[in-house]
Protein backbone atom coordinates (compact mmCIF):
# COMPACT_ATOMS: atom_id res chain seq x y z
CA UNK A 1 0.00 0.00 0.00
CA UNK A 2 1.06 3.65 -0.44
CA UNK A 3 2.41 5.44 2.61
CA UNK A 4 -0.13 7.93 3.92
CA UNK A 5 -0.17 10.44 6.76
CA UNK A 6 -3.46 10.66 8.64
CA UNK A 7 -2.18 13.43 10.92
CA UNK A 8 -0.78 16.90 10.29
CA UNK A 9 2.07 16.68 10.67
CA UNK A 10 2.39 12.96 10.09
CA UNK A 11 4.23 11.04 12.78
CA UNK A 12 6.94 8.51 11.97
CA UNK A 13 8.54 6.52 14.77
CA UNK A 14 11.79 4.57 14.61
CA UNK A 15 12.26 1.41 16.71
CA UNK A 16 15.38 -0.75 17.00
CA UNK A 17 13.83 -4.18 16.67
CA UNK A 18 15.04 -6.70 19.21
CA UNK A 19 15.66 -4.13 21.94
CA UNK A 20 15.06 -5.15 24.64
CA UNK A 21 13.78 -8.35 22.97
CA UNK A 22 11.59 -9.35 20.04
CA UNK A 23 8.44 -9.97 22.05
CA UNK A 24 8.67 -6.56 23.70
CA UNK A 25 9.45 -4.90 20.37
CA UNK A 26 6.14 -6.19 19.05
CA UNK A 27 4.23 -4.89 22.07
CA UNK A 28 5.94 -1.51 21.73
CA UNK A 29 5.17 -1.37 18.02
CA UNK A 30 1.49 -2.12 18.61
CA UNK A 31 1.31 0.47 21.38
CA UNK A 32 2.91 3.05 19.10
CA UNK A 33 0.47 2.33 16.29
CA UNK A 34 -2.52 2.47 18.60
CA UNK A 35 -1.30 5.82 19.96
CA UNK A 36 -1.45 7.33 16.48
CA UNK A 37 1.77 6.61 14.59
CA UNK A 38 1.35 6.90 10.82
CA UNK A 39 4.54 5.09 9.83
CA UNK A 40 6.83 2.73 11.73
CA UNK A 41 10.49 2.47 10.80
CA UNK A 42 11.59 -1.01 11.80
CA UNK A 43 15.28 -0.68 12.53
CA UNK A 44 17.49 -3.64 11.61
CA UNK A 45 20.20 -4.06 14.27
CA UNK A 46 23.72 -3.69 12.89
CA UNK A 47 27.07 -4.22 14.53
CA UNK A 48 28.60 -1.00 13.18
CA UNK A 49 25.88 1.71 13.13
CA UNK A 50 28.09 4.67 12.21
CA UNK A 51 25.24 7.07 11.38
CA UNK A 52 23.62 6.63 14.78
CA UNK A 53 24.21 8.37 18.05
CA UNK A 54 24.99 6.62 21.33
CA UNK A 55 21.35 5.88 22.26
CA UNK A 56 20.58 3.96 19.08
CA UNK A 57 24.06 2.45 19.01
CA UNK A 58 23.46 0.93 22.46
CA UNK A 59 20.04 -0.35 21.38
CA UNK A 60 21.54 -1.93 18.28
CA UNK A 61 24.28 -3.56 20.34
CA UNK A 62 21.70 -5.03 22.73
CA UNK A 63 19.60 -6.33 19.85
CA UNK A 64 22.62 -7.86 18.13
CA UNK A 65 23.59 -9.58 21.39
CA UNK A 66 20.05 -10.94 21.54
CA UNK A 67 20.61 -12.54 18.15
CA UNK A 68 18.09 -10.38 16.29
CA UNK A 69 18.46 -10.79 12.53
CA UNK A 70 16.94 -9.23 9.43
CA UNK A 71 14.65 -12.24 9.09
CA UNK A 72 13.29 -11.52 12.58
CA UNK A 73 12.52 -7.93 11.60
CA UNK A 74 10.68 -9.13 8.50
CA UNK A 75 8.74 -11.66 10.57
CA UNK A 76 7.63 -8.87 12.89
CA UNK A 77 6.63 -6.74 9.92
CA UNK A 78 4.39 -9.57 8.72
CA UNK A 79 2.71 -9.78 12.12
CA UNK A 80 2.19 -6.02 12.30
CA UNK A 81 0.75 -5.89 8.79
CA UNK A 82 -1.76 -8.59 9.77
CA UNK A 83 -2.75 -7.03 13.08
CA UNK A 84 -2.60 -3.34 12.12
CA UNK A 85 -3.08 -3.24 8.34
CA UNK A 86 -3.41 0.55 8.10
CA UNK A 87 0.06 1.51 9.34
CA UNK A 88 2.95 2.31 7.01
CA UNK A 89 5.90 -0.05 7.45
CA UNK A 90 9.44 0.89 6.48
CA UNK A 91 12.48 -1.35 6.85
CA UNK A 92 15.29 0.91 8.08
CA UNK A 93 18.72 -0.63 7.63
CA UNK A 94 22.30 -0.30 6.64
CA UNK A 95 23.11 -1.97 3.32
CA UNK A 96 25.26 -4.79 4.71
CA UNK A 97 22.43 -6.90 6.26
CA UNK A 98 20.50 -6.71 2.99
CA UNK A 99 23.52 -7.78 0.95
CA UNK A 100 24.15 -10.71 3.28
CA UNK A 101 20.59 -11.91 2.75
CA UNK A 102 20.72 -11.08 -0.95
CA UNK A 103 18.82 -8.12 -2.40
CA UNK A 104 16.44 -10.28 -4.40
CA UNK A 105 15.70 -12.58 -1.47
CA UNK A 106 15.23 -9.61 0.84
CA UNK A 107 12.89 -7.80 -1.53
CA UNK A 108 10.79 -10.90 -2.07
CA UNK A 109 10.53 -11.50 1.69
CA UNK A 110 9.74 -7.85 2.41
CA UNK A 111 6.99 -7.79 -0.17
CA UNK A 112 5.52 -10.99 1.22
CA UNK A 113 5.60 -9.51 4.73
CA UNK A 114 3.62 -6.46 3.64
CA UNK A 115 6.42 -3.91 3.91
CA UNK A 116 5.75 -0.63 2.10
CA UNK A 117 9.19 0.88 1.73
CA UNK A 118 12.89 0.50 2.47
CA UNK A 119 15.35 3.12 3.69
CA UNK A 120 19.03 2.18 3.51
CA UNK A 121 21.11 4.79 5.29
CA UNK A 122 24.31 4.20 3.34
CA UNK A 123 22.75 3.80 -0.11
CA UNK A 124 23.26 6.86 -2.30
CA UNK A 125 21.00 7.68 -5.23
CA UNK A 126 23.86 7.80 -7.72
CA UNK A 127 24.74 4.13 -7.09
CA UNK A 128 21.23 2.77 -6.56
CA UNK A 129 20.07 1.74 -10.02
CA UNK A 130 20.26 -2.03 -9.50
CA UNK A 131 18.95 -1.76 -5.94
CA UNK A 132 15.99 0.38 -7.00
CA UNK A 133 15.12 -1.95 -9.85
CA UNK A 134 14.94 -4.93 -7.49
CA UNK A 135 12.86 -3.03 -4.94
CA UNK A 136 10.50 -1.71 -7.60
CA UNK A 137 10.04 -5.19 -9.04
CA UNK A 138 8.69 -6.21 -5.63
CA UNK A 139 6.53 -3.09 -5.17
CA UNK A 140 8.75 -1.63 -2.46
CA UNK A 141 9.19 2.13 -2.36
CA UNK A 142 12.73 3.48 -2.06
CA UNK A 143 13.28 6.27 0.47
CA UNK A 144 16.38 8.45 0.43
CA UNK A 145 17.95 10.86 2.91
CA UNK A 146 18.74 14.48 2.14
CA UNK A 147 20.87 16.74 4.35
CA UNK A 148 21.42 20.49 4.75
CA UNK A 149 24.77 20.05 3.00
CA UNK A 150 23.20 18.39 -0.07
CA UNK A 151 23.68 20.63 -3.12
CA UNK A 152 20.66 21.40 -5.28
CA UNK A 153 21.94 19.07 -8.01
CA UNK A 154 21.83 16.16 -5.57
CA UNK A 155 18.36 17.12 -4.31
CA UNK A 156 17.13 17.10 -7.90
CA UNK A 157 18.70 13.68 -8.52
CA UNK A 158 17.12 12.22 -5.38
CA UNK A 159 13.75 13.67 -6.37
CA UNK A 160 13.98 11.77 -9.65
CA UNK A 161 14.35 8.37 -7.99
CA UNK A 162 12.75 8.64 -4.52
CA UNK A 163 9.38 7.15 -3.65
CA UNK A 164 7.10 7.19 -0.62
CA UNK A 165 8.50 10.27 1.09
CA UNK A 166 11.73 12.23 1.38
CA UNK A 167 13.59 11.90 4.69
CA UNK A 168 15.18 15.27 5.42
CA UNK A 169 17.90 15.32 8.06
CA UNK A 170 17.49 18.35 10.29
CA UNK A 171 21.23 18.70 10.87
CA UNK A 172 24.54 17.17 9.84
CA UNK A 173 25.86 14.44 12.12
CA UNK A 174 24.63 11.37 13.92
CA UNK A 175 21.17 10.70 15.27
CA UNK A 176 20.20 11.99 18.71
CA UNK A 177 17.98 14.46 20.52
CA UNK A 178 18.50 18.22 20.46
CA UNK A 179 17.11 21.31 22.20
CA UNK A 180 15.37 22.82 19.17
CA UNK A 181 14.81 22.15 15.50
CA UNK A 182 17.92 23.19 13.58
CA UNK A 183 17.56 26.51 11.79
CA UNK A 184 18.66 25.19 8.40
CA UNK A 185 16.00 22.46 8.43
CA UNK A 186 13.35 24.82 7.05
CA UNK A 187 15.70 25.94 4.28
CA UNK A 188 16.41 22.31 3.34
CA UNK A 189 12.71 21.47 3.10
CA UNK A 190 12.06 24.63 1.05
CA UNK A 191 14.84 23.72 -1.37
CA UNK A 192 13.62 20.12 -1.65
CA UNK A 193 10.08 21.22 -2.50
CA UNK A 194 11.40 22.80 -5.70
CA UNK A 195 12.07 19.32 -7.02
CA UNK A 196 9.39 17.00 -5.62
CA UNK A 197 5.73 16.70 -4.72
CA UNK A 198 6.43 13.81 -2.36
CA UNK A 199 5.79 14.36 1.37
CA UNK A 200 8.88 15.53 3.21
CA UNK A 201 9.56 14.13 6.69
CA UNK A 202 12.03 15.79 9.04
CA UNK A 203 14.14 13.70 11.39
CA UNK A 204 17.31 13.62 13.52
CA UNK A 205 16.76 15.30 16.86
CA UNK A 206 12.94 15.56 16.92
CA UNK A 207 12.22 14.59 20.51
CA UNK A 208 9.27 16.49 22.00
CA UNK A 209 5.91 18.07 21.22
CA UNK A 210 7.41 21.52 20.67
CA UNK A 211 9.64 20.06 17.96
CA UNK A 212 6.70 18.31 16.31
CA UNK A 213 4.69 21.54 16.41
CA UNK A 214 7.59 23.43 14.83
CA UNK A 215 7.96 20.80 12.11
CA UNK A 216 4.26 21.20 11.26
CA UNK A 217 4.99 24.74 10.07
CA UNK A 218 7.00 23.62 7.05
CA UNK A 219 7.27 19.81 6.70
CA UNK A 220 4.72 17.03 6.19
CA UNK A 221 5.86 14.65 8.92
CA UNK A 222 8.14 14.42 11.93
CA UNK A 223 10.41 11.45 12.63
CA UNK A 224 11.00 10.57 16.28
CA UNK A 225 13.74 8.04 16.95
CA UNK A 226 16.30 8.53 19.68
CA UNK A 227 13.77 9.89 22.19
CA UNK A 228 11.68 6.73 21.83
CA UNK A 229 14.69 4.42 21.95
CA UNK A 230 15.95 6.22 25.07
CA UNK A 231 12.56 5.83 26.73
CA UNK A 232 12.66 2.10 26.02
CA UNK A 233 16.17 1.91 27.46
CA UNK A 234 15.04 3.65 30.64
CA UNK A 235 11.94 1.48 31.10
CA UNK A 236 11.54 -2.14 32.09
CA UNK A 237 10.27 -4.47 29.34
CA UNK A 238 6.95 -4.61 31.17
CA UNK A 239 6.64 -0.81 31.32
CA UNK A 240 8.04 0.11 27.91
CA UNK A 241 4.95 -0.41 25.71
CA UNK A 242 2.70 1.75 27.88
CA UNK A 243 5.43 4.38 28.29
CA UNK A 244 5.94 4.65 24.54
CA UNK A 245 2.21 4.77 23.87
CA UNK A 246 1.73 7.57 26.40
CA UNK A 247 4.70 9.51 25.01
CA UNK A 248 3.34 9.34 21.46
CA UNK A 249 -0.17 10.29 22.53
CA UNK A 250 1.35 13.29 24.30
CA UNK A 251 3.22 14.30 21.15
CA UNK A 252 -0.03 14.36 19.20
CA UNK A 253 -2.04 16.23 21.80
CA UNK A 254 0.63 18.83 22.57
CA UNK A 255 1.60 19.30 18.94
CA UNK A 256 -2.02 20.15 18.07
CA UNK A 257 -2.07 22.77 20.82
CA UNK A 258 1.31 24.13 19.68
CA UNK A 259 0.15 24.34 16.07
CA UNK A 260 -3.04 26.17 17.07
CA UNK A 261 -1.02 28.68 19.11
CA UNK A 262 1.36 29.29 16.23
CA UNK A 263 -1.50 29.81 13.79
CA 246 to chain centre: 19
Tell me the pairing of strands 88-93 and 39-43.
Answer: parallel
263, 173, 182, 166: which is closest to 220 by C-alpha?
A: 166
52 labelled catalytic: yes
Q: Which of 52, 116, 163, 258 is catalytic?
A: 52
Strand stretches in 134-212, DSSP E: 141-143, 145-146, 166-169, 200-203
The burial of 29, by beta-carbon neighbours within 10 Å (0-12 exposed, 13-18 middle, 19 or more buried), is given as buried
Give the span between the Cα atoms of 94 and 114, in whole angstroms: 20
63, 66, 114, 112: which is closest to 86 by C-alpha?
A: 114
Q: Which of 38, 41, 163, 258 is catalytic?
A: 41
Q: How many residues does the chain have?
A: 263
Give the span between the Cα atoms of 93 and 70, in whole angstroms: 9
41 labelled catalytic: yes
The burial of 50, by beta-carbon neighbours within 10 Å (0-12 exposed, 13-18 middle, 19 or more buried), is given as exposed
5, 6, 11, 33: which is closest to 252 by C-alpha?
A: 11
- Active-site residues, by number, are 41, 52
Amino acid sequence: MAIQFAHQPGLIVYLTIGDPDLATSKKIALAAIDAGVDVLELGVPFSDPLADGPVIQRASERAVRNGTRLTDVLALARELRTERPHVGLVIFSYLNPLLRMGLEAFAKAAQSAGVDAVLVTDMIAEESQEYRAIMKNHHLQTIFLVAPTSPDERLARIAEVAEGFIYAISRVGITGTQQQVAGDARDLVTRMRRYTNLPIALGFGISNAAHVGAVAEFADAAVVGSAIVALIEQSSPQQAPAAVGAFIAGLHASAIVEENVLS
